[in-house]
Amino acid sequence: PIPTVLDCDPGHDDAIAIMLAAATLDLRAITTVAGNQTLDKVTLNAQRVCTAAGISVPIAAGCARPLVRPLRIADDVHGESGLDGPAFGPPTIALSPLHAVDLMHRSLPATIIATGALTNVALLISRYGTAGIREIVLMGGSTGRGNITPYAEANIYVDPEAAEIVFSSGVPVTMCGLNVTHQALVTPDVVARMSALGPLGETCAELMTFFASTYRTLFGFEAPPLHDPVAVARVLDPTLVSCVDAHVAIETAGVHTRGATVVELDGYLGLAPNAKVAVSLDVPRFWDVVIDAVAQLTRN
């Protein structure tokens, strides 16, 4: 298994990403960043998910706001708690006293999987440099259209300055954007497979049912896209998510395009690639690994 740190903002899809990473990778730490909800709420949610799934990995809270912009939360998608749907009991997993950035640093060498705004990861690089960061595999951006403005995806939009630090850091970066995560649709069949797994699977199904309701109302999706586990899947088995090398620029100054990921797929500018960009997902195998992960946590 690959040593990894998961930096996240749970969040319904982050919750499944935590389970997939804990079941399949050598997960050294879970760190949280404000994004889908405030830092306090997403941190509590990480503790709730780990308690429900029997995951004992150090959890540390990180940045409560983006590097320079005010925080914009996604309570319209993830609800008041950031993880609306199931009733979670009180968490029994304690928080690390360390700041997320310090826990990440102590967990290196590792691959960092980032499924929220890139604030903590940018701060890690600014404070400690890049030594020991094998790779950064992130859910964020898009080769095409956005999901929070016409051209920006939410994680990059929330902290574009942090994203710019990450993409220009020289660390190998893999971007799993909306163009691929919109293939990971949680259909009723997937929800039924989760429900059949017992109490943890039922909790996952309840999460997915809430997520489906907001995606239906807000965006007209028939089934919601499970973004964040796609980045975990890429680390687990690169053949699940195929990528091309490309230059990715982050729009930090645009009037209408703040947070857009400008991906040089056509070679117009002749810029050297600075990232691997996901272009396709093996959908049936992706769902098999997600369902297997929940099943494995259920057995543990």
Which residues are identified as catalytic?
Answer: 227
Determine the Cα–Cα distance for residues 279 and 243; give it in Å rounded to an integer. Answer: 5
159 binds, among ligand BDR, Ca ion, none (CB under 5 to 8 A by kind): none
Q: Which stretch binds ligand BDR (CB under 6 A): 52-60, 96-104, 125-133, 150-158?
A: 150-158
Among 18, 44, 46, 153, binds ligand BDR (CB under 6 A): 153
DSSP assignment, residue 138? E
Residues between 96 and 125 that touch Ca ion (CB under 5 A): 115-116
The answer to whether residues 297 and 289 touch, using CB atoms and an 8 Å cutoff, is no
Facing residues of 59 across strands? 30
Alpha carbon distance 274, 286 (integer Å): 26
Task: Name the residue nearer to ligand BDR (CB basis): 64 or 98.
Answer: 64
Cα distance between residue 258 and residue 157, in whole Å:
6
Q: Indicate the residue type of 188.
A: P
Q: Which two tokens stand for residue 174?
A: 């893999």
- The option from Ca ion, ligand BDR, none interacting with 264 (CB < 5 to 8 A, set by class) reads none
Among 4, 24, 32, 36, binds ligand BDR (CB under 6 A): 36
11 interacts with ligand BDR by CB under 6 A: yes
Nearest distance in Å: CB 269, ligand BDR: 26
Other residues' Cβ atoms within 10 Å of the Cβ of residue 245? 11
- CA gap 128, 254 in Å, rounded: 30
Shortest reach from residue 198's CB to ligand BDR, in Å: 25
Give, to the nearest 10 degrees, the angle between helix 188-195 and helix 283-299: 20
Rule CB under 6 A: is residue 139 a binding residue for ligand BDR?
A: yes
Q: Does 159 bind Ca ion (CB under 5 A)?
A: no
By the criterion CB under 6 A, which residues form the site for ligand BDR? 11, 13-14, 36, 74, 77, 115, 139, 147, 153-155, 227-228
By the criterion CB under 5 A, which residues form the site for Ca ion? 9, 11, 14, 115-116, 228
